[in-house]
A = this chain, B = another copy of it.
């Protein structure tokens, strides 16, 4: 079986792109009212005005739509650049917190983990999406290294993961919301460890 091109990659701005935008917008709206469990292709068709057979042909399942939605939404988060390492981490923590406090985003993440548990290909897509997103914001750490705020050879991905992990733990395991206190402890914990050289790569 040959791989098809990524969803919506053909004719950017054309009908394919418009169809993708309509279906993803519909999914995002539905997830603001309903959980992932109740989402169906028929519902997406109804809300988006795109025929269900078109949706099925392109994404195959609800899982496929959710995976595509993650790609679209996570591209929307900016990388802070305030000139100060702690402040960059604070802004990033706030952005991740706000994202995860919105019901529909929680439902996207939940849906992704369900999809990943059902399908190793989705598992890989989820992993790649988070790795790519982490990679983007590692600039926060590279800039801190340049400014001499953290030691050289600090593993930037480890720093970002250390800061983000408590937020995902709260959301996915404790099923709670991200508050000021959690953002504070997550930033402070990662910041201090990074400054102290905990994330310096061993020779």
Instruction: Check if A95 is an interface residue, CB within 8 A of chain B.
Output: no
Known: A165-B166, A175-B127. A193 touches B198 (CB 8 A): no
B117 touching A37, Cβ below 8 Å: yes
Nearest residue in B to A113 (C-beta to C-beta)?
B113
Which residues of the other chain, B, contact A176 by a CB distance below 8 angstroms?
127
Instruction: Check if A9 is an interface residue, CB within 8 A of chain B.
Output: no
Stretch of A42-50, A85-93, A140-148, A182-190 that contacts chain B:
A182-190
B192 touching A188, Cβ below 8 Å: no
Interface residues in A, total, Cβ within 8 A? 42
What is the predominant secondary structure among interface residues of chain A facing chain B? helix
Digit string of A92-124 for contact with B (CB within 8 Å is 1, else 0)? 000000000000000000110110111100010
Q: A168-B168, A188-B198, A189-B193 are in contact. List 14 more A-B contacts (CB 8 A).
A: A35-B118, A36-B117, A37-B117, A110-B113, A116-B175, A126-B175, A127-B174, A162-B186, A165-B165, A168-B169, A181-B202, A185-B198, A189-B198, A193-B193
